[in-house]
Structure 1
Amino acid sequence: MNTKVYLKRKIAPRIANGHPWIFNNEVEKIEGDVQAGDIVDVYFHDQKFVGKGYINPQSQIVVRLLTRDKTDEINGDYFYKVIKECWEYRKQLGYTENCRLVFGEADSLPQLIIDKFNDYFVIQTLALGMDKWKPAIIDALNKIFTPKGIYERNDVPVRELEGLTQQKGFLSAPFDTNIVINENGLQFHVDIENGQKTGYFLDQQDNRRAIQHIVKGADVLGAFTYTGTFEIHAAYYGARSVLGLDISENAVKQANRNAALNNLQHIVKFETANAFDVLKQWGKDGRKYDVVMLDPPAFTKSRETIQKAITGYKEINLRGMKLVKPGGFLVTSSCTNLVNADMFMQTIEMAAKDVRRKIRQVTFQTQAADHPIIRGMDNTHYLKFLIVQVC
């Protein structure tokens, strides 16, 4: 018999509207034993069934719902069924070789991330209740895919909020964690063990194709390049010259390796530099490019520092615009869900105003469709990708 969690009479309509998170200040009472990570049944104050989820009394989000169906039994078969559904969905959309197979809340598996890199899988279990099901998740992956390898990248601080340790390592027989993937006709080295997040940013794979017409014959500058995917796409799509900058020596080394892997090292070069400083200096020097591409990290992880993040985004885009020739293009992204699309657009407009340049939108996109967006779940709608012409 599952423990029962009853919600208060006055709670936000968020839960009734489908959001899976239940905060501890929304709980009226709990009937039965509570072991962190257990599956519990959740009810509204009037005894109506809400759903089943996992509980963690030491987390601010005390319950995360897995299902709204009373007949669902949460067991190994359940995880197999849901992960199989995730795979069918990706196949329908054409994401088969590399994809985010499971995108947490958007796939009804809160705090579970699984990235598929061809025959290799990288997983993150970011909450205690999901971490407990790791054996079932691995079992499901083995049954559905017969993978060459599975690796966990649970070296993320957010786990500590759940009382979990940070860790990473093999969840299958050991394998070489430096692999090569194909994307849009190009090849890229992926460092599963030491790369950022799960080793590679799959969420921009569609956006990288969006630059193909504007970069033809262009001199291109890219900042915050990480391992150089946008810049190498630009070279592949016919840019005359491409320079990529990143503060990480390791990332630059990998980016140059990626350029060589695609035989594009004569067009695209990468250098270690602090983009903030260099862009400022080059603006003063009067340097100009046909296309400037900016893909900075999230400048904030908390609501308290949103203003600081907006200042950062404005500053970097302002410096980027200064380097664009009249009639050229700025390609820019923001990957924090705390800065929403409206805020992001306003920031870009303010930057344009400050440098007295007119901009017009070419395209505005979100993350690739293998990272589905659920309205009302802000954390699923995080990436903003924008191309503007700078006149």
Structure 2
Amino acid sequence: MQKVTLKKSALPAFRTLPAWIYGSQLESLPSSLEQGELVHLYSPKQEFLALGYINPKSQIALRILSFTQKSFTPEELKKRLQKAILKRESLLLKTNGARLIHSESDELPGLIVDSYANHLSLQINTAGMERFRPLILESLKELLSPLSIIDKSDEKSRQLEGLESSNGVIFGEVPQEILLQEEGARFGINLLEGQKTGYYLDQRQNRLLLAEMAKGKRVLDLFCNGGGFGIHALLKGAKEALFIDSSEMACEQVKKNLSLNQLENKGRIISANVFDELKGLREREEKFDLIILDPPSFAKTKEQQKGAMNGWKYLIIGAIKVAAPKARIALYSCSYHMGLNELAQVALEASRDSYTRLQILQYHLQDIDHPAILNMPHSLYLRGIVFEVLK
């Protein structure tokens, strides 16, 4: 196995046991290294530091697999898959949809596996993990006996790794619609067309927390996707819910999901630009008691943060203007660069401009099947704040 050497200047940062090593932190790499090849990482004094896989073409040059083991065998990969799946056993008693493998957080960098009624959605986002594709598929079949496996490896990260997108059914037959059951709610999932890997599993617990606040309330579910927040709220006794999304496909799915839960008469659906529709709601003097803002990421890089803050401020002001007295507003950011502090700051600015006070009721994070690890801050990517409007 070839070896690479950490620069002396990178040693202090390495003491945190990082999941990634950047190319700038390594001494010059051997020209013979191939994308995804397993290598040993050594200190400037030639002490063993870690085992990982290398990609000379990527800014993230080395992804760590172990700080103690010097080999990564097929048996070890299977062991890690099994360990991650076992961690989700108790969750799968409550729902048939869960993330089974969450990349670095499950010691399998670059691999994501979601299960929807035992139909698996797979993402392989790195060159190193791509080398293990046959073994991963074989192990998943052995451990889970899935009905199907669909490849959704089309994230931008594959381009950064020098890999082409990979989409399509790998194994079995994927039905046009899969029925997901989540704490008493039913959702139709279209794995062949759905966003990301099909459904926002990371918001599961947050949907349930907000639903507990919804009894007798008018709910506004913005950027609603499949309508998860609003439907859970209706099942917990909300008076009515308005779902808004710019995607006609998402709105069609909300309509189907309302029907699956026998809630057709309690939900309104509007396919429109959310920014524009908030203005329309204000002009029509509509008021809501529970407002959910769960937009797609406004800031995928640090450089985009300023623009994201402006977008968020506009949305929060719009939400405040359609908020009934003592309404609750939930904000969710799925960008690492828009954390709790940034959300609180932009909410404060919006409240000042609206001459309104906001009281923090709850902080929300991603659900348990999307674990974060402290030595990889980017793994804690979903943050939410629930406010009460004090007018």
The TM-score bracket by the shorter chain reads over 0.9
Cα 1:227–1:12 shift into 2, 3 Å: farther
User: How far 1:321 moved relative to its partner?
Assistant: 1.3
TM-score for the superposition, normalised by structure 1: 0.95
For residues 2-49 of structure 1, the C-alpha deviation after alignment (integer angstroms, 9 at most, x for no partner) is 100111111163333121211111111446831111100111212221
For residues 319-363 of structure 1, the C-alpha deviation after alignment (integer angstroms, 9 at most, x for no partner) is 111111111111221111111211111111221121111111221
Q: Which residue of 1 aligns with 2:77?
A: 79
Q: State how far apart, in whole Å, the 2-side matches of 1:286 and 1:154 are.
A: 44
Q: State how far apart, in whole Å, the 2-side matches of 1:190 and 1:228 are.
A: 12
Q: State how far apart, in whole Å, the 1-side matches of 2:158 and 2:145 are.
A: 28
SS at match of 1:332: strand
1:49 aligns with 2:48: yes
Q: State how far apart, in whole Å, the 2-side matches of 1:166 and 1:15 are.
A: 32
Aligned length: 389
Q: Is the 8 A contact 2:333 2:339 kept in 1?
A: no
Cα 1:345–1:186 shift into 2, 3 Å: same
Q: Is the 8 A contact 1:40 1:55 kept in 2?
A: yes
For residues 297-339 of structure 1, the C-alpha deviation after alignment (integer angstroms, 9 at most, x for no partner) is 1012111111101111111111111111111111221111111
Q: Is the 8 A contact 2:29 2:56 kept in 1?
A: no
Could you tell which deviates more after superposition, 285-294 or 337-346? Answer: 285-294
Could you tell which deviates more after superposition, 90-99 or 159-168? Answer: 90-99
Q: State how far apart, in whole Å, the 1-side matches of 2:353 and 2:361 are.
A: 21
1:212 aligns with 2:195: no
User: How far 1:207 moved relative to its partner?
Assistant: 0.4
SS at match of 1:325: strand
Q: State how far apart, in whole Å, the 2-side matches of 1:61 and 1:161 are.
A: 9
Q: State how far apart, in whole Å, the 1-side matches of 2:173 and 2:369 are.
A: 27
User: How far 1:177 moved relative to its partner?
Assistant: 4.5
Q: Is the 8 A contact 2:211 2:229 kept in 1?
A: no
Q: State how far apart, in whole Å, the 2-side matches of 1:175 and 1:113 are.
A: 18
User: How far 1:264 moved relative to its partner?
Assistant: 0.7
SS at match of 1:336: coil
Q: Is the 8 A contact 1:360 1:390 kept in 2?
A: yes
Q: Which residue of 1 aligns with 2:237?
A: 238
User: How far 1:94 moved relative to its partner?
Assistant: 5.9
User: How far 1:386 moved relative to its partner?
Assistant: 1.9
Q: Where do residues 91-170 of structure 1 align in structure 2 (5 Å cutoff)?
A: 91=89, 97-170=96-169
User: How far 1:286 moved relative to its partner?
Assistant: 2.8
Letter in 2 for 1:75: T
Q: State how far apart, in whole Å, the 1-side matches of 2:105 and 2:269 are.
A: 36
Q: Where do residues 166-315 of structure 1 align in structure 2 (5 Å cutoff)?
A: 166-315=165-314
Q: Is the 8 A contact 2:336 2:378 kept in 1?
A: yes
SS at match of 1:306: helix
Letter in 2 for 1:80: K
SS at match of 2:331: strand
Q: State how far apart, in whole Å, the 1-side matches of 2:352 and 2:67 are.
A: 48
Letter in 1 for 2:278: L
Q: Where do residues 299-378 of structure 1 align in structure 2 (5 Å cutoff)?
A: 299-378=298-377
Q: Which runs of 5+ in 1 are unaligned?
A: none
Letter in 1 for 2:378: N
Q: State how far apart, in whole Å, the 1-side matches of 2:339 and 2:370 are.
A: 17
Q: Is the 8 A contact 1:113 1:125 kept in 2?
A: yes
User: How far 1:278 moved relative to its partner?
Assistant: 1.1
Letter in 2 for 1:131: E
For residues 152-210 of structure 1, the C-alpha deviation after alignment (integer angstroms, 9 at most, x for no partner) is 10122221111111121122123325211101111101111111100110000000001
Q: Is the 8 A contact 1:9 1:45 kept in 2?
A: yes
Cα 1:12–1:216 shift into 2, 3 Å: farther
SS at match of 1:286: coil
Q: Is the 8 A contact 2:218 2:239 kept in 1?
A: yes
Q: State how far apart, in whole Å, the 2-side matches of 1:14 and 1:268 are.
A: 51
1:387 aligns with 2:389: no
Q: Is the 8 A contact 2:114 2:122 kept in 1?
A: yes
Q: Is the 8 A contact 2:92 2:98 kept in 1?
A: no
Q: Is the 8 A contact 1:211 1:234 kept in 2?
A: yes
Letter in 2 for 1:85: K
Q: State how far apart, in whole Å, the 2-side matches of 1:85 and 1:92 are.
A: 13
User: How far 1:376 moved relative to its partner?
Assistant: 3.6
Q: Is the 8 A contact 1:38 1:54 kept in 2?
A: yes
Letter in 1 for 2:251: V
SS at match of 1:266: helix
Q: Is the 8 A contact 2:221 2:291 kept in 1?
A: yes
Q: Is the 8 A contact 1:3 1:32 kept in 2?
A: no
TM-score for the superposition, normalised by structure 2: 0.95
Letter in 1 for 2:107: S
Q: State how far apart, in whole Å, the 2-side matches of 1:262 and 1:48 are.
A: 60
Q: State how far apart, in whole Å, the 1-side matches of 2:5 and 2:156 are.
A: 30
For residues 114-173 of structure 1, the C-alpha deviation after alignment (integer angstroms, 9 at most, x for no partner) is 111121111101111111111111111111111111111012222111111112112212
Q: State how far apart, in whole Å, the 2-side matches of 1:232 and 1:285 are.
A: 24
